[in-house]
Amino acid sequence: MTKRVTLKIDGMECPNCAMILESMEDKLKGVKKAEASYRKAQLIVEYNEAELSIDTIKAEVKRLGYEVTGVI
Amino acid sequence: MNNILIAFITGLTSGGLSCLAVQGGLLASSLSNQIEQDFQTASVKNRKSKKPIKQKPSKLALPIMVFLVAKLIAYSILGFLLGMVGQVFQLSPIARAILLIAIGIFMLGNALRMLNVHPIFRFFVFEPPAFLRRKLRKTALGANGSSLITPAFLGFMTVLIPCGIAQSIMAIVLGTGNPLQGAALMFAFTLGTSPVFFAVSYFATQIGAKLEKQFVRFVAIVVLILAIVTINSGLTLAGSPINLSRLPISLYPQPQRVDAIQAGPAAQAIDPAIGSPVAAKPDLADTEGSTITIKVENYEYNPAEIHAKAGVPVTLRLITKDVRSCSRALIIPALNVQTILDQTGEASIQIPAQKSGTKINYSCSMGMYGGRIIFDL
């Protein structure tokens, strides 16, 4: 089942960071769509709950060099 | 030819840093595969040889060059198109002034964003739409690391995210109303930005995170200064009484009428650099102030402030002698005058009778140098 989550992100310093975060769409299995906004400092992820957990997404954000400060 | 040289120098001195701050991400994306590949190779070698990891930036030279050449072509085409648009819609000095002020505010916000002053300034940066980001990302990350198509494509794409300085040049190109001149100006500017782009990108892998942060701060401060200069140019072009060159006069107002009487009935000048009135040279105005003469120099109009006779038509004489800067392109918004003076020569402009106290501002077409005529004699 597809779930949609909005994460508050800390550490984005330019619009290019949004592109880096969105790369999880290609690399993390189970992510259907990832859309980040540098302006709003947030990341919206649509993912398959059966394949992926929110903790894995948070860990991927951390691996990419950013921090999840909250779930909206 | 002169404007092309100015565009090149602008690119070389300020455009490179400013544009790198905006477009550096695309270049980094296009190089990421190469860097990653180099890094992995170095890591493998390191594990085998136990020598410290050493990047090989030499492999980056070609993709950087391809990126820059693609960018050069894209911006030249953009210059050509903007010149064509300008040919159809000739921008008035006021429209250009508004454009410059808007660009200046945009740059100011961008500089404050880079300095992390407040999250609100994040709205001052152009964020490509999600579909374009996806396309760029898939091209940047999906292509083979050694492929040169990626940097070429991304170099071309930089036209979608022009930096503040590039946008200023674009505004000037729009004002030329000439496709070929537009293409030449954008080519010269982009060529000027290339050495900084190349140098910073080439050594980027050698720069540590700490130094990178310092570099961003440095760029932010440069952009901040340029923003102030751009806003000031807009204000000068709009004929605003408030701008940096008139600041000394505004801060230390002088009793001009008294000095005018002391200096005699002839026109008198105020040197904005020292903020005090000085008697105009006898050859700068006739005894009645109905003919005034301004010497157009490379970096100023002399005198910057001149007094003329009110209530009668006035002849404005403009003298140029080996002038190569934009001061040759004179604009008087109030009189709807736009003229390009000869490098060496003399031109006259007839000014209809003005009411006493009228102040007419003039400037170069880029708003860099300006002055004013006060009708009060």
User: Would you give the DSSP letter of residue B336?
Assistant: T
- State the Cα–Cα distance between residues A31 and A47, nearest whole angstrom: 4
pLDDT of residue B54: 44
Query: B280-305, pLDDT tens digit by residue?
Result: 444 444 556 688 999 999 888 988 88
Residues of B in contact with A22 (CB under 8 A): 133-134, 137
Contact B136 A26 (CB under 8 A): no
- Alpha-carbon torsion angle B250, B251, B257, B261, nearest 10: -120
Domain end point (choices B187, B220, B237)? B237
Note down the domain range covering B331: 244-375
Q: Which residue on chain A is closest to B128 by alpha carbon? A: A15
Q: How many CB atoms lie within 10 A of CB B321?
A: 12
Q: Which residue on chain B is closest to A43 by alpha carbon? A: B130
Query: B50-70, pLDDT tens digit by residue?
Result: 444 444 555 678 888 888 999
Task: Specify whether B219 is located in the same domain as B274.
Answer: no
Tell me how many domains chain A contains. 1
Domain end point (choices B215, B237, B259)? B237
Query: B2-35, pLDDT tens digit by residue?
Result: 678 888 888 887 777 767 766 666 666 556 555 5
Note down the domain range covering A13: 2-71
Could you tell me the pLDDT band of residue B75, with boundaries at 50, 70 and 90? very high
Tell me how many domains chain B contains. 2
**A-to-B residue pairs, Cβ atoms closer than 8 angstroms:** 43
Question: Are the C-beta atoms of B26 and B112 separated by less than 8 Å?
Answer: no
Contact B133 A22 (CB under 8 A): yes
- Contacts (Cβ under 8 Å, ≥6 apart) of B12: B192, B193, B195, B196
Contact B25 A22 (CB under 8 A): no
Give the mean pLDDT of chain A.
Answer: 89
Give the domain CATH number at A11.
Answer: 3.30.70.100
In this prediction the pTM is 0.59
